[in-house]
Structure 1
């Protein structure tokens, strides 16, 4: 054997050091595979890993995605080992995030004391030591830094408005209107009928019976009005009975005990949106109000987050200029239409969470581009270089529900009061220690179900029934004037049903005789 060959031999007794990779690296590699632009061999070479390692990551894709997206572990973590006392760890992590969202300094001893307190309340028998603290910090990518001074909220409204006006002009100069977004949440009493409005007037929705009848809705659109993002609806139950058998929801849906937006939900929503814009190779400016549920989010690739000055959203928030109000007006009209149909059919009106999602989807579709543009301009989203004016949207815009015979319902309150009854409903609040403990204890048991109106379970319609229904819809379109705009939607559904029928036919013919 030559001396050169001997040099290549591994030294006896030494093992090759294995290179480990972060959860973020694994997530990005899986995302590259799913995009399908590059081969697996190219992707493996890109991340400097053997092909079989990439195959292992793909096999565990779901677990890796959950670890990355749900913030179970910091993205720079390399192993996905969980804590021995998961409930206490989750409580401490929630408390830590809430404290930092409120700019409360948190030291190591304080975190240990808080962990011991939560462990006692949750019945976990373990000693919170400095060793546990170090492991906790590594699991969640936490570092303690010296607090030299937190930025204070702007007290002077005039100064705040001047500072925001300057920031806004920078945003308008650097981004096109199609890439400037605003997001805000609103509470919605989704089962509220006109004759029940007086009972809710002035009621603070902090819990109890009334809170079970509400959801929180995240509304987001761009400045051009041509891109309305799918609504995010937050309810009280993860799996309401009405979702049984449903595979596709009309809106995104999340849940927690109080149906509020939380910092965890906001971060997950924003990161998912960031990945979407990243795939589209866009750079987006997103403005939100300054509240504990809207923390600063790290590692965003496509979105730059801007916070509106405190106590100025009535002037600076485009969603508050009429977009959310318009959404609710359309929703209330759909509720009234549903009530009228129930009266005609001599049936009791039932509005489930699923019904609410369907009507919110339809209501959001009916908020016009012109209305959104107007509301952004009214919030001063206007470049100093242009002479645009915030012209009001047409008052005679067509609305299929404008002819609703409201008098037939004998409304006890004006429709405007009914439509805006929940405009001041709380959608977010700083979480207390009791809330944290109660949520974790509730999660130990079977997921809470929201009380839903009882009705027979629906069966999935057969393809034959769907095909027959499409024939009726086609007849209606062809026998009604000014329905040409419906043909593309009809054809899209027709193609999907035909494709499903072909697949079903192939399976029948392939079945063994």
Structure 2
């Protein structure tokens, strides 16, 4: 099946949706001007040029059911119209036809993975060319009950950063994440399709026959060429510009994840300050903390409470074991309290760290929201969002003059290390039989794979020498 390109009007609507999500106020005159600029940037040869006018714009608004939105004070607030409420009621009816375990939400967030809780240092970290290098896009997905959390889908500028190359990491998936890259570290339409294919594969392997995936109207959330390969996932979009109210990920899940991540980041820095060597955090460290913050620290209770807080489900209906009381929703706030404690510890070690933590915990957690809302996507960048090819992905290692690689571990070294761990468990006064059994099974599986690989290499070497 050939690849379907977005039309000029579809591309303009994708840009418009992105502006709405960023809470950018737009007049009719601004919309027409931007539409003309966009057409000049991505005009398809097979399409007729659109003659933009007020008549065209009104027709465009009617076709896409665009309402007027207003901006209030420092923040932006969407007018929740009758159309929005009707759409939410339709989604609630649709949700009621699925089991809670089969209803999912995914959303992306920017993450400056080295960010320190100092306003001056933070501003430098996100300026100019350093921005994409220090920033991940992280897509998080969970079901309503919090029993299924997909591995974090991480997008970076480099496919093989030096922190991976140094440690001989050839498959980042072995770190418990899904790793992709492009030159801007963005979720593009092509990467979104890769996300869907990966999700579909996991669903088939788990034996599921149908799930509902709720998404916002981000311009990258378009299925262009893989629709015929997606049969289990049904995608439904939330109304634009109100995801802060109705999207579970925006109702506290992502915020809890960031609070946990930044607590882990500060604690790692504190640990390294008290040990010899560099305290610098690299991509490898960041990936491990992202994986732990999501898999371990963001609890199923937090996820369930955020779904209820998003007003898409009834606590006494689909999730009868919960209610949406403020005390229970407070479970999503606990990470903020823990982060405050970590910031206090860092402040006590200002002399050693050289960092003056003058951000509050809330500022530290919400940093990306505050900075990226002030830097909405441009017309030129939208063209990249629509068509940035994976060929732009950097296949070579991130430039590094002094790449000091660790030698690959041998099977012998693996056996020796596991023997020490097994000996420790066997000497415990507590019942460690379950952990011991799992460790032995994993070790046997790794050893079997290593032996098979060795035999294959020997056979290949033999036939090569015969030739």
Q: TM-score, normalised by structure 2?
A: 0.69
Deviation readout 1:33-84 (Å, 9 max, x if unpaired): xxxxxxxxxxxxxxxxxxxxxxxxxxxxxxxxxxxxxxxx338xxxxxxxxx
Please tell me whether residue 218 in structure 1 is matched to residue 139 in structure 2: yes
Q: 2:323 aligns with which of 389, 404, 407?
A: 389
Check whether the contact 1:243–1:354 (CA below 8 A) recurs between aligned residues.
yes
Check whether the contact 2:41–2:383 (CA below 8 A) recurs between aligned residues.
no
**What does 1:299-338 align with in structure 2 at a 5 Å threshold?**
299=228, 300-338=230-268
TM-superposed CA distance for 1:229, in Å, is: 0.8
Higher fraction of helix: 2
Bigger drift between 281-290 and 405-414 goes to: 405-414
| Match in the other structure for 1:474 | 422
Check whether the contact 1:189–1:213 (CA below 8 A) recurs between aligned residues.
yes
Please tell me whether residue 412 in structure 1 is matched to residue 325 in structure 2: no
Cα RMSD, aligned residues only: 4.5
Q: 1:153 aligns with which of 66, 72, 82?
A: 66
Deviation readout 1:322-375 (Å, 9 max, x if unpaired): 211221222223222332332233211233323322221111112111111111
CA change 1:295–1:206 in 2 (3 A) is: farther
Alpha-carbon distance between aligned partners in 2 of 1:281 and 1:256, rounded to the nearest angstrom: 31
TM-superposed CA distance for 1:486, in Å, is: 4.4
Q: Alignment partner of 1:157: what SS?
A: coil
**What does 1:337-352 align with in structure 2 at a 5 Å threshold?**
337-352=267-282
Q: Alignment partner of 1:333: what SS?
A: helix
Q: Alignment partner of 2:141: what SS?
A: strand
Please tell me whether residue 256 in structure 1 is matched to residue 256 in structure 2: no
Q: Alignment partner of 1:174: what SS?
A: coil
**What does 1:173-184 align with in structure 2 at a 5 Å threshold?**
173-184=96-107
Alpha-carbon distance between aligned partners in 2 of 1:343 and 1:498, rounded to the nearest angstrom: 37
Q: Which runs of 5+ in 1 are unaligned?
A: 1-22, 24-72, 76-91, 105-109, 119-127, 135-145
CA change 1:103–1:302 in 2 (3 A) is: farther
CA change 1:117–1:421 in 2 (3 A) is: closer
| Match in the other structure for 1:231 | 152
| Match in the other structure for 1:170 | 93
CA change 1:207–1:262 in 2 (3 A) is: farther
| Match in the other structure for 1:426 | 372
TM-superposed CA distance for 1:240, in Å, is: 2.3
CA change 1:433–1:325 in 2 (3 A) is: closer
| Match in the other structure for 2:30 | none
Q: Which runs of 5+ in 2 are unaligned?
A: 18-35, 49-58, 69-78, 351-355
TM-superposed CA distance for 1:469, in Å, is: 1.5
Q: Which structure has the larger Rg? A: 1
Alpha-carbon distance between aligned partners in 2 of 1:356 and 1:343, rounded to the nearest angstrom: 17
| Match in the other structure for 1:456 | 404
Please tell me whether residue 200 in structure 1 is matched to residue 134 in structure 2: no
CA change 1:431–1:452 in 2 (3 A) is: farther
Check whether the contact 1:98–1:430 (CA below 8 A) recurs between aligned residues.
no
**What does 1:89-168 align with in structure 2 at a 5 Å threshold?**
98-99=11-12, 101-102=14-15, 150-155=63-68, 156-168=79-91
| Match in the other structure for 1:288 | 215
Alpha-carbon distance between aligned partners in 2 of 1:384 and 1:396, rounded to the nearest angstrom: 19
**What does 1:21-60 align with in structure 2 at a 5 Å threshold?**
23=1
Deviation readout 1:359-417 (Å, 9 max, x if unpaired): 21111112111111111111123248726512336589899x89865455335234454
| Match in the other structure for 2:284 | 354
Alpha-carbon distance between aligned partners in 1 of 2:246 and 2:237, rounded to the nearest angstrom: 10
Length, aligned pairs only: 395
Alpha-carbon distance between aligned partners in 1 of 2:192 and 2:456, rounded to the nearest angstrom: 43
TM-superposed CA distance for 1:149, in Å, is: 5.5
CA change 1:95–1:337 in 2 (3 A) is: farther
- Structure with more relative contact order (C-alpha pairs < 8 Å, separation 6 or more): 2
Alpha-carbon distance between aligned partners in 2 of 1:506 and 1:467, rounded to the nearest angstrom: 19
TM-superposed CA distance for 1:264, in Å, is: 2.4
Please tell me whether residue 379 in structure 1 is matched to residue 310 in structure 2: yes
